Amino acid sequence: MSDELLRARVVSGSGRFADPWHPFAETSAALARIAHERGFDVEVRADVAAAIGGGDPVDLLVLNLGDPAEADAAEDDRVREGLLRHVAARGGLVAVHSTLTGLRMLPDRRSLLGGVWVHGASMHPEYGEAQVRVLPATHPITEGLADFVVDDERYASLDVEPDLVPLLAHEHEGALHPLLWARQVGAARVVADALGHDGASYRSPEHREVLGRAMVWAAGDQAPR
C-alpha cells in the first residue's frame, strides 16, 4: 500500500441541502473525526455542488445532506454529474441518514444508494433509544459485532432494492427495517447508513466502529485500516 493517505471528503448539508431538524455541522464534524481515526486525509465541505461536482476527485465521499425543498437546475446537474463521475471512477460512497431522503436529481437514486426515503410512505418512530440488530450476513463491516443500543432516529418503510442484504436493522411494529447496508455498484462500493440523526448517534462506540469500517470498505482494499 502506498504511504500516501487516501482522501476523504465529508459533504455537509448547507443552503438548500440543510433543514431545521438535523445539526449537519455537528454530525459532519463527527464523521470527519471517524475518517481521520481510520487514517484518511479528510476535509469537510459545505459548498455542496462544488464539493461533489467540482472536478477535484477524492477516494471517498461521505454525504451528510438534507432534501432540498426546491430544485435548482444548475446545482442539481452539477451534483448529479459529479456523483455519477465519482462512482464511475470507482470512488467509495457513504450516504448517511437524511441523505436517503434526497438526491432526487439522480435518475435512479434507489439503484445507487440501495434504499431511499419515500415521502408519504416512509416514516420513523419517535426519536429515542434504538435497539440495533446486527444481522447474520458475513461482511467485514459488521463481522464479530454484537447488537447494540444507540440514541437515534430510526428510519422505517424505506423503498429498497429487491436484492438488498441489510447488515443492521431495527424492529418496528413486528417487522425488521434495514438501517445499514453495503453494495457493489459497478466498480464502486456504496454504503448507506440510515442512522446518524444528531451528535448522540456518533457518541455510540458501536456506531462509530461500524462507520469506520464502512468507510474503509467503501474506499476499497487499498484504504487505511
- List the chain pLDDT tens, one digit each, 225 residues: 346 899 999 999 999 999 999 999 999 999 999 999 999 999 999 999 999 999 899 999 999 999 998 889 999 999 999 999 999 999 999 999 999 999 999 989 999 999 999 998 999 999 999 999 999 878 999 999 999 999 999 999 999 999 999 999 999 988 999 999 999 999 999 999 999 999 999 999 999 999 999 999 999 965 554
Q: What angle do CA 194, 199, 200 make, to 5 degrees?
A: 85
pTM of structure:
0.95
The domain of 20 spans 7-113+177-219
Within a domain: 191: yes
Residue 2, CA distances (Å) to 6, 40, 91, 188 in order: 9, 13, 17, 20
| CATH number of the domain where residue 14 is located | 3.40.50.880
Q: Which of 153, 191, 159 is nearest to 172 (CA)?
A: 153
Within a domain: 194: yes
- Which residues, 6+ apart, have CB-to-CB distance to 91 below 8 Å? 57, 58, 59, 60, 61, 188
Within a domain: 46: yes
Within a domain: 169: no
Within a domain: 51: yes
Q: Which of 122, 132, 183, 129 is nearest to 155 (CA)?
A: 122
Cα(133)–Cα(171) distance, integer angstroms: 8
Domain count, the chain: 1
Cα(200)–Cα(176) distance, integer angstroms: 23
